[in-house]
Structure 1
Amino acid sequence: MERLGTGIGWRPEIADAVERMPGIDWVEAVAENVCPGHLPESLQRLRTRGVTVIPHGVSLGLGGADRPDEGRLTALAERVEALGAPLVTEHIAFVRAGGPLTASPLLEAGHLLPVPRTRDALDVLCENVRIAQDALPVPLAVENIAALIAWPGEEMTEGQFLYELADRTGVRLLIDVANLHTNHVNRGEDPAKALAELPLEAIAYVHVAGGFERDGVWHDSHAHPVPNPVLDILTDLASRVSPPGVLLERDENFPEPAVLEGELEAIRGAVEKGEKGRAIRDEAAAEAVGAAVVGTVAPATDPARQRLGLAQAALLSALVAGTPVPEGFDRVRLGVQSRALAGKRADVVGKVAPELPEILGDAYRAAFLAYAHGHPMTGGYRRDALDFAGHLLLAGRLEEEGRARRELREWWLERSGPVPRSQRPAVRVARAARRVLLHR
């Protein structure tokens, strides 16, 4: 694995700052936010300077019960080619459930949800990873995720689950030390034990991010400073293996560039601190390396897929549609996760369709959360924005002749058809005729 060095998550809001930051060896871009035919000029300039750009996918759902969608894999491969990336990354998570496999409505989480650490889930995940590996032009690395909730009846620790995944598929691992901290606070899992169980030689690179704690629950927000416990886990990891790359993630609430540069320096310091004690551990680890058998054939997964699909559909339905909580789950913690999902939906829809918060003003968030409570997301966020606007118009929640209703109706009509309303032939003809009449 090539050495990446120190990197930062590229986001449009900090694109200019990232270009000026000293010591940035590489960046990571959310794959779904990159259009292969129209790369942002900032990314093009970084590539011209020799800065590696790695696409980071969020929508494959490799941990879901269904096999990976061919269209999504093709789109991800196109982004790899457009960026000239040496590898591509995704998550060990499910993001949707239901559909034909379970004969139930297809639901979208709009978020990365944890897979159960069971044999069924591992068999399905291994097959899904192999399908993705075959479809992608460069090596794949998969990331451990943060979790607010724990599945009942799990059969493996996180370290054991990741070890078997890498052993059976040869996939690389993207280890997020902030997520290890999250799972320590929320699930009582020991980060040091997880690191001790990992196949460290399979690590492609490392994520570092911030979050916050509220009522005993750690929220992996990517919008707050990196706390010392996360840096301590990074030091522990660096004392066991030299990470090929370490990257700072920040998705919103961006501070001044100097603050981000300070966090990057703290990350470098944590790695250097860990390297001082790594020689002894390297020697011990070298004796244990070499026993992996990559590509072991898994048993037929169709029955496992159906069992996993039913379990994931029941959980996601409880989270987003208000159906009963499946047996064995913590009801309070599921409530926290459900509210977090609804809040994230409101935030992302507000970014995807910024006109909606502008039209509705301070009433936007409360209106969206009330809508989300009884209307699960069944498509992407753009579809969600249209459905939300349509619901408000049909439900009569806005003053009949008020400004907000008029503007919302115009916004919805412009976007609800297969082509924008302003570009439809009948509209263009009507506008042309109106211009002729006005100039007579």
Structure 2
Amino acid sequence: MRRLGTGIGWRPEIADAVERMPGVEWVEAVAENLCPGHLPDSLVRLRGRGTTVVPHGVSLGLGGAARPDAGRLAALAECALALGSPLATEHIAFVRAGGPGTPSAPLEAGHLLPVPRTRDALAVLCENVRIAQDSLPVPLAVENIAALFAWPDEELTEGQFLYELADRTGVRLLVDVANLHTNYVNCGEDPARALSELPLEAIAYVHVAGGFERDGVWHDSHAHPVPRPVLDILTDLASRVSPPGVLLERDDNFPEPGLLEGELRSIGAALARGHARSGSMAPAPAADGAPAPAREPAPALPADTGTARAHVALAQTALLAALVTGAPAPDGFDRSRLNVQVRALAAKRADIVAKVAPELPLILGDLYRSTFLCYAGTNPLSGGHRRDALDFAAHLLRGEFPEDEETRRALHEWWLERSGPVPHSRRPTVRIARAARRILLRG
């Protein structure tokens, strides 16, 4: 695997700082936020200096019951080619469910959700990964995700699941040590055991990120400093293998560049501690002191992937309906944890709409967030976040809120400007009416 070195997630908010940041050897950019034909000037300059840029996808849903969407795959492939990337990455997650063969209309999560670690889900994931690999012009690496809840009746540990996926498909792994910490706090999954079960030779690179704990639940926010337990997992990993690359992720609440540089130095120190320990210690035991068990024989997967897809589709649809439509929680799930996920999905949805339509929080003021969260509770995401912003505004305009006439007029004008194929202000009838009004005012 090509050596990448130390990197940081490229985001528009910190683009200038990343260009000037010492020690940054490569960057990763969210693929869905890029237009391959019109790359941001900052990424063009970084590429011109020889800095590697890796596209990181978030919407394929490789762990979903459906086969990967050809259009989304083509977009990721085009992005990788435009950036001259050595690989492309995605997540082991599902992001949508419902539709044909299920009792629900199509549903979107708007976020990455964990797949059940069962033989059916593994068979579906392996086939989806192979489809993606055949469609991409560069190697694919897939990332383990953070979970707020666990599926009941799982058949494999996280490490076993990742091992079998890599072994059966040859896919590379993007190991997120922050997500291993999240799953330890939220689901009791020992990160040391997961590392002991991984095919370390398959690691493409590593993610490091921060989060916070609230009421015993760890939230992988990517908006807080990297905590010591995450750095300790990175040290453990580096004592077992020298990862080709390590990248700091930060998506919000961006600090001063000097603080980000300090986090990169902390990551380097954690790697150095791990390298110093390698070769001078036995394999790390599990957190409870027991040695990691020997790997069991590979599980037999269902011969009929179609049947496996049907099983996974029903299970994921029932779960997603509970998360975004208020349907009853499926049996076996921790209902309190599902409620945490419901709130997290709605909050993330509100944050994204505020980014893609920043005028809405300005128009609605302090009432934006509470109003949107109320709307999200009964109106599932459909058609993407820009569509979501328009649907939210239309929902408000159909009701009695906002009561203030000036706010209502501003919201209506915003919706008119963006709801049609051509901005309202550029439509011929509007331009003619405005020109006539200017003539009358001059007369």
Q: Shorter-chain-normalised TM-score: which range?
A: over 0.9
Relative to structure 2, which stretch is displaced further, 412-421 or 333-342? Answer: 412-421
Q: Confirm or deny that 1:94 pairs with 2:97.
A: no
Structure 1 letter corresponding to 2:343: R
| Mapped contact 1:208–1:249 kept (Cα < 8 A) | yes
Query: What does residue 43 of structure 1 align with?
Result: 43
1:118-133 mapped onto 2 (5 Å cutoff): 118-133=118-133
SS of the residue 2:279 aligns to: helix
Distance of 1:436 and 1:102 partners within structure 2 = 59
| Mapped contact 1:241–1:282 kept (Cα < 8 A) | no
Query: CA offsets per residue over residues 160-190 of structure 1, 9 Å max, x none?
Result: 0000000110000000000000000000010
Relative to structure 2, which stretch is displaced further, 116-125 or 101-110? Answer: 101-110
Distance of 2:390 and 2:102 partners within structure 1 = 27
> Which sections of structure 2, spanning at least 5 residues, go unmatched?
285-294
1:345-424 mapped onto 2 (5 Å cutoff): 345-399=349-403, 402-424=405-427
Query: What does residue 169 of structure 1 align with?
Result: 169
| Mapped contact 2:302–2:308 kept (Cα < 8 A) | no
SS of the residue 1:182 aligns to: helix
1:269-308 mapped onto 2 (5 Å cutoff): 269-279=269-279, 299-308=303-312
How many residue pairs align between the two structures? 431
Query: What does residue 187 of structure 2 align with?
Result: 187
Distance of 2:173 and 2:83 partners within structure 1 = 21
Alpha-carbon offset, residue 111 of structure 1: 0.6
SS of the residue 1:36 aligns to: coil
| Mapped contact 2:90–2:143 kept (Cα < 8 A) | yes
Alpha-carbon offset, residue 24 of structure 1: 0.4
Alpha-carbon offset, residue 399 of structure 1: 1.7
Query: What does residue 426 of structure 1 align with?
Result: 429
- Same amino acid, percent of matched pairs: 76
| Mapped contact 2:213–2:219 kept (Cα < 8 A) | yes
SS of the residue 1:218 aligns to: strand
Distance of 1:103 and 1:435 partners within structure 2 = 56
Query: What does residue 82 of structure 2 align with?
Result: 82
Q: What is the TM-score normalised by the length of structure 2?
A: 0.94
Structure 2 letter corresponding to 1:271: L
Alpha-carbon offset, residue 37 of structure 1: 1.2
Alpha-carbon offset, residue 434 of structure 1: 4.0
Distance of 1:43 and 1:98 partners within structure 2 = 37
Distance of 2:264 and 2:302 partners within structure 1 = 41
1:164-243 mapped onto 2 (5 Å cutoff): 164-243=164-243
Query: CA offsets per residue over residues 374-416 of structure 1, 9 Å max, x none?
Result: 111122111111111000000111126x111000000111111
Distance of 1:436 and 1:137 partners within structure 2 = 58
Query: CA offsets per residue over residues 270-289 of structure 1, 9 Å max, x none?
Result: 111101222367999xxxxx
Distance of 2:247 and 2:389 partners within structure 1 = 32
| Mapped contact 1:240–1:282 kept (Cα < 8 A) | no
Q: What is the TM-score normalised by the length of structure 1?
A: 0.95
> Which sections of structure 1, spanning at least 5 residues, go unmatched?
285-290
Does the C-alpha gap of structure 1 residues 354 and 82 become closer, same or farther in structure 2, counting only changes over 3 Å?
same
| Mapped contact 1:149–1:187 kept (Cα < 8 A) | yes
Does the C-alpha gap of structure 1 residues 319 and 283 become closer, same or farther in structure 2, counting only changes over 3 Å?
closer
RMSD over aligned CA atoms reads: 2.0
